[in-house]
Amino acid sequence: MASFLAVYYPALAVLQTEQDFYDLAYAYLLKAKDNHVHHVELFFDPQAHTSRGISFETVINGFYRATQDAKSFGVDAQLIMCFLRDFSKESARQTLLEAKKHRDKILGIGLDSDEHHNPPMKFATHFENAVSQGYHITMHCDIDQVDSIDHIKQALEVIGVERLDHGTNIVENSDLVDFVNQKQIGMTTCPKSNSFVSADMKGKEITDLLAKGIEVSVNSDDPAYFGGYISENYWALAEAYDLSVDQVVQIAKNSFNSSWISDQQKRNYIQEIDDFVANYDFERETV
């Protein structure tokens, strides 16, 4: 994780203007369209830019404008603002304060970056404030980190996240697996990036969680760095772990069921999946 962040943050220096942020998001959303994505909940890290002198407005306005323009090619995109956990609590407080005037542009609040010595509880007050302002909340609990299980436990049982990002170490604690199952808390896993951070893509953990009825989904994670947009992540997992059509379909449905869209939108998207599967010639593809 630290080696990735050491490359990731310096590369952000190329983003300077609102148009830069627009171009970045728009290019990603076009790529999402090419991958047959219909709905995107996109993370962004304002502190990575405000800390180097770029205004919050420059960041959010560029990203938001791209999400609005993506509607023209059929991609519904929403933004999730993350706190950087290796920044101070005061920095997170200030970021949430700056976001207030842009409340209509931001769907949820997340937490990412280096977990070492930066547990979820460090930001408990700010997530409580975020919930009081009507935001959805989620947190990264990256794989195979120091105190992974304790961080997952804090995120789920104390902070009360609605979704858990990465988090496959949860299989080490059956009580926490039962907790996410009972609460129907979705888990956003990223097979391709897992294989960079760990020895493998955590496919066994993902399929085990799927078998237990957990709303586990497959996602891309910094795809330009980890070599895989959403289709590559699905393909890599399906090929390496010999997933059945039913398993792949369930993962796709989970992505909508755990998303922050209306129940009617969920039903509509899931019906599209069912219609596609019903009319697709899988035998032809396997010949």
User: Distance between CA atoms of 193 and 226, rounded to whole angstroms?
Assistant: 5
**Over pLDDT 70: what percentage of the chain?**
98
Q: Residue 226: what pLDDT?
A: 81
For the chain, residues classed under CATH 3.20.20.140 are 1-141
Q: Residue 2: what pLDDT?
A: 65
pLDDT of residue 8 exceeding 80: no
Residue 287 binned pLDDT confidence (cut-offs 50, 70, 90): very low
Condensed to tens digits (0 to 9), the pLDDT of residues 250-261 reads 999 999 999 999
At CA 264, angle to CA 260 and CA 265, rounded to 5? 55
Residue 281 binned pLDDT confidence (cut-offs 50, 70, 90): confident
pLDDT of residue 7 exceeding 80: no
CA–CA distances in Å: residue 207 to residues 25, 165, 186, 213? 31, 16, 14, 10
pLDDT of residue 4 exceeding 80: no
Assigned CATH for 1-141: 3.20.20.140
Q: What is the sign, positive or negative, of the torsion defined by CA atoms of 274, 238, 165, 113? A: negative
CA–CA distances in Å: residue 258 to residues 88, 136, 138? 30, 12, 11
Alpha carbon of residue 108 to chain centroid: 11
- Residue 6: HSE in the Cβ half-sphere, 13 Å Cα cutoff: 3
More confident site: 166 or 286: 166
pLDDT of residue 246 exceeding 90: yes
Q: Residue 285: what pLDDT?
A: 64
- Residue 54: HSE in the Cβ half-sphere, 13 Å Cα cutoff: 21
pLDDT of residue 137 exceeding 80: yes
Residue 106 binned pLDDT confidence (cut-offs 50, 70, 90): very high
